[in-house]
């Protein structure tokens, strides 16, 4: 939620900030703004409703010079999206400008106190309260900006990543973090600041990730200082980041989402690289081996996640219970933290998160840690908060995911969960050797089978035209395919704004079947696996009520093609690996329907990629 960028050095700041905002636009895109201090010491704030491109238009013919600046792209929490509520926010005298990602929970109380002292506010945001408070302290206590920030943040309850500049001291940016990510890039005589490393990597590969409670004092020509709210120096480690810049571009595709769908064969190869031996006979997740005693001693596993990652968790439950015979519970991270969960030192909690920053998942991890559980993270963004909060874990290594609708991260998560289940099952001796070898062999074939499935793209693009005007969709699947149905429905909802529900196929007759009529498209995952005959009966029930059935079937299936309206064929696959290929046509269907409807596929309304607020 919200993207933050900052620059201080010898170059013109504006182009660096705008490019950075474009890289971070996936985090929020309802308004954008920039603050710059020019060589005459003037602090200018330009901000507007809309996207970063609207900001670029807005600043035409304005003074955008200066080699210090901060910029922001917003996902509204407090106050509607409009230029007044956009960041940066000025302080009362317009001496300071501040950007913020997070929520200041006690802002109303702080605002009342300031109003009682005569302060007035231009916006409805929590952020403006903070910048006014900082200036109030700075002036009344006659302190430096750093001290004012430290004192102000001591009064704040909530989550923040902030950056603040002061026209009276144009050589410094003060940045602070609590529960919202912040990375400082260290260049030659210049510093960069951002919510993640993507705006930084083309200038420098040396970064530090701020920890909660830390404040970076970024002074031109000086060394980076990191202190806490009590002004105690915090040792910090400079890390190297490696990122393929091509992954941050669309590479000829019209949307990041389509690129990321088509990237999946290569991403899954990357995800498995070094984890399956060349002979294709052995899977090793090093974190599982390193902590195998702890994992094998667990009473049960609890998987916490949100959204698409929660769907991957449901598949993980099947895999771990089937192969490892360890009971697994799957919890929405947002509910888990508030339900006083029964959890103790014999439990293992697996946290799944693409961004590694989801506030609810991070809070669930912290809660489980305080109860003594062992925490295993499955994340994509290297160095993000969740991997840093866990005891161990495995990255999915699928590269930056920019489209707000998660695609390649889902298949990466399921691949890691499969490797985790297989590694653990072999250590626990709960899988027989032939079955193990067969699944490992099939897992290696997934990238090629994904390529085959992606050839359905043109057909699905045609099919999408028929369903562009649908108001509702139902997705059905059983066993391993039920979470795939949920994921297909979520993709459609997110980017096409068509109401869609996923159900276990057999649950239809307990209520949802009442919705079926000639207008209702029903997508059914009906491959030839364990419950094939039963799913076929469910399709008959829908057809008897004149619903439109789009079925995913195993190649060569003739029985379902006789009753379904449309069949999309998938290559043969063991049931446990089927989610890795069956999800792709559903991603493509959602994508093409959204494109036909003229929707903003990569940046759907109301959503943000990284949900760093509750
Ligand atoms: O970064 P995370 O995996 O923790 O994000 C969780 C959800 O916010 C995320 O999966 C969301 O549901 C996506 N927009 C789904 O496409």
Q: Is residue 406 lining ligand 1, measured as CB closer than 6 Å?
A: yes
Q: Is residue 379 lining ligand 1, measured as CB closer than 6 Å?
A: no
- Judged against a pLDDT cut of 90, whether residue 174 lies above it is answered with yes
Read off the pLDDT of each residue in 2-9 and give the average, rounded to a whole number.
95
End-to-end Cα spacing for the chain: 10
Query: How far is residue 90's CA from residue 160's CA, in Å, rounded to a whole number?
Result: 17
- Judged against a pLDDT cut of 90, whether residue 81 lies above it is answered with no
Token duo for residue 417:
């969960």
Query: What is residue 471's predicted lDDT score, i.e. its pLDDT?
Result: 92
Query: What is residue 227's predicted lDDT score, i.e. its pLDDT?
Result: 97
Residue pair 125/131 in contact by the 8 Å Cβ criterion = no
- Judged against a pLDDT cut of 90, whether residue 248 lies above it is answered with no
Read off the pLDDT of each residue in 99-119 and give the average, rounded to a whole number.
93
Which of 305, 336, 350, 354 has the most ligand 1 atoms within 8 A of CB, as the residue to mutate?
A: 354
- Judged against a pLDDT cut of 80, whether residue 373 lies above it is answered with yes
- Judged against a pLDDT cut of 90, whether residue 241 lies above it is answered with no
Tell me how far the alpha carbon of residue 307 lies from the centroid of ligand 1, in angstroms.
5
Q: How confident is the model at residue 383 (pLDDT cuts 50, 70, 90)?
A: confident
Q: Which of 25-29, 266-270, 563-567 shows the lowest mean pLDDT across its residues?
A: 25-29
- Judged against a pLDDT cut of 90, whether residue 268 lies above it is answered with yes
Token duo for residue 419:
């490797």
Mean pLDDT over each residue of the chain, to the nearest integer = 93
Looking at 408-531, list the stretches that DSSP marks H as alpha helix, in order from N- to C-terminal side.
Answer: 408-428, 433-444, 446-454, 457-467, 481-496
Q: What share of the chain in percent tops pLDDT 90? A: 79
Q: Is residue 2 among the annotated active site residues?
A: yes
Atom 12 (ligand 1): residue with closest C-alpha?
A: 307
Read off the pLDDT of each residue in 131-155 and give the average, rounded to a whole number.
96
- Judged against a pLDDT cut of 90, whether residue 351 lies above it is answered with yes
Helix, strand, coil proportions of the chain in percent (round to 5)? 40, 25, 35
Q: How confident is the model at residue 279 (pLDDT cuts 50, 70, 90)?
A: confident
Residue with tokens 């995952």: 525
Looking at 244-301, list the stretches that DSSP marks H as alpha helix, in order from N- to C-terminal side.
Answer: 256-262, 264-272, 286-290, 292-296
Q: How confident is the model at residue 253 (pLDDT cuts 50, 70, 90)?
A: very high
- Judged against a pLDDT cut of 90, whether residue 215 lies above it is answered with yes
Q: How confident is the model at residue 164 (pLDDT cuts 50, 70, 90)?
A: very high
Query: How far is residue 51's CA from residue 492's CA, in Å, rounded to a whole number?
Result: 23
- Judged against a pLDDT cut of 80, whether residue 475 lies above it is answered with yes
Read off the pLDDT of each residue in 408-422 and give the average, rounded to a whole number.
98
Query: What is residue 251's predicted lDDT score, i.e. its pLDDT?
Result: 83
Query: What is residue 517's predicted lDDT score, i.e. its pLDDT?
Result: 86
Query: What is residue 440's predicted lDDT score, i.e. its pLDDT?
Result: 96
- Judged against a pLDDT cut of 80, whether residue 78 lies above it is answered with no
- For the entire predicted model, the pTM comes to 0.85
Q: Is residue 99 lining ligand 1, measured as CB closer than 6 Å?
A: no
Query: What is residue 73's predicted lDDT score, i.e. its pLDDT?
Result: 92
- Judged against a pLDDT cut of 80, whether residue 510 lies above it is answered with yes
Tell me how far the alpha carbon of residue 609 lies from the centroid of ligand 1, in angstroms.
7
Collapse the DSSP code of 479 into the 3-class scheme (helix H, G, I; strand E, B; otherwise coil) and give the result: coil
Read off the pLDDT of each residue in 180-207 and give the average, rounded to a whole number.
94
Query: What is residue 28's predicted lDDT score, i.e. its pLDDT?
Result: 77
Q: How many residues does the chain have?
A: 614
Q: How confident is the model at residue 247 (pLDDT cuts 50, 70, 90)?
A: confident
Query: What is residue 25's predicted lDDT score, i.e. its pLDDT?
Result: 85
| Residue of 328, 300, 296, 325 lying closest to 314 (CA atoms) | 328
Q: Which of 2-11, 226-235, 514-523, 602-611 shows the lowest mean pLDDT across its residues?
A: 602-611
Q: What share of the chain in percent tops pLDDT 70? A: 99
Q: Which atom of ligand 1 is nearest to the CA of 607?
A: 14
């Amino acid at each position: 939620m919200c993207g933050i960028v900052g620059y201080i050095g010898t170059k013109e700041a504006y182009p660096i900030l705008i490019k950075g905002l474009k890289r971070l636009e996936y985090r929020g895109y309802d308004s954008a703004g920039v603050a710059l201090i020019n060589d005459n010491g003037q602090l200018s704030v330009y901000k507007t409703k809309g996207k970063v491109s609207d900001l670029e238009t807005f600043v035409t013919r304005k003074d955008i010079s200066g080699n210090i600046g901060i910029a922001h792209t917003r996902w509204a929490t407090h106050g509607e999206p409009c230029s007044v509520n956009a960041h940066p926010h000025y302080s009362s005298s317009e001496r300071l400008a501040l950007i913020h990602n997070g929520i200041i929970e006690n802002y109303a109380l702080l605002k009342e106190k300031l109003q009682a002292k005569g302060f007035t506010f231009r916006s409805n945001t929590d952020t403006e309260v903070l910048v006014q408070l900082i200036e109030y302290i700075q002036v009344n206590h006659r302190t430096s900006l750093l001290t004012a920030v430290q004192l102000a943040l001591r009064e704040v309850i909530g989550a923040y990543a902030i950056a603040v500049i002061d026209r009276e001291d144009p050589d410094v940016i003060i940045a602070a973090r609590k529960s919202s990510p912040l990375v400082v890039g260290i260049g030659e005589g210049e510093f960069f600041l951002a919510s993640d490393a993507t705006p930084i990597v083309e200038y420098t590969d040396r970064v530090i990730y701020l920890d909660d409670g830390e404040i970076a004092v970024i002074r031109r020509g000086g060394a980076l200082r990191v202190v806490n709210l009590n002004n105690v120096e915090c040792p910090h480690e400079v890390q190297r980041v490696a990122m393929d810049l091509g992954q941050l571009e669309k590479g000829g595709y019209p949307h990041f989402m389509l690129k990321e769908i088509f990237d999946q064969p290569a991403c899954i190869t990357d995800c498995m690289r070094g984890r399956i031996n060349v002979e294709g006979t052995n899977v090793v997740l090093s974190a599982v081996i390193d902590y195998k005693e702890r994992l094998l001693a667990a009473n049960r596993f609890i998987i916490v996640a949100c959204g698409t990652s929660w769907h991957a968790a449901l598949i993980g439950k099947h895999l771990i219970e089937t192969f490892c015979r360890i009971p697994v519970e799957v919890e929405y991270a947002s509910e888990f933290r508030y339900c006083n969960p029964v959890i103790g030192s014999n439990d293992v909690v697996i946290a799944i998160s693409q961004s590694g920053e989801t506030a609810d998942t991070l809070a669930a991890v912290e809660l489980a840690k305080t109860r003594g559980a062992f925490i295993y993270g499955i994340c994509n963004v290297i160095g993000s908060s969740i991997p840093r909060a866990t005891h161990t874990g495995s990255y999915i290594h699928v590269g930056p995911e920019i489209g707000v609708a998660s695609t390649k991260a889902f298949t990466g998560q399921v691949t890691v969960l499969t490797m985790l289940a297989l590694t653990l099952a072999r250590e626990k001796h709960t899988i027989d050797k032939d079955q193990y070898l067969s699944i490992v062999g099939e897992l290696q074939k997934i990238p090629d089978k994904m390529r085959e499935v992606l050839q359905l793209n043109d057909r699905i693009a045609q099919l999408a035209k028929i369903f562009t005007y649908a108001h509702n969709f139902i997705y059905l699947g059983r066993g391993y395919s039920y979470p795939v149905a949920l994921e297909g429905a979520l993709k459609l909802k997110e980017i096409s704004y068509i109401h869609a529900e996923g159900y276990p196929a057999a649950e239809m007759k307990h209520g949802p079947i009442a919705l079926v009529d000639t207008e209702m498209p029903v997508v059914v995952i009906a491959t030839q696996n364990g419950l094939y005959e039963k799913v076929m009966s469910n399709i008959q029930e829908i057809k008897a009520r004149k619903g439109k059935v789009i079925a995913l079937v195993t190649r060569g299936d003739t029985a379902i093609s006789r009753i379904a309206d449309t069949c999309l064929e998938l290559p043969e696959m063991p049931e446990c690996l089927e989610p890795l290929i069956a999800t792709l046509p559903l991603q493509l269907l959602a994508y093409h329907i959204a494109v036909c409807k003229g929707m903003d596929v990569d940046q759907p309304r109301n959503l943000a990629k990284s949900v760093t607020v509750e």
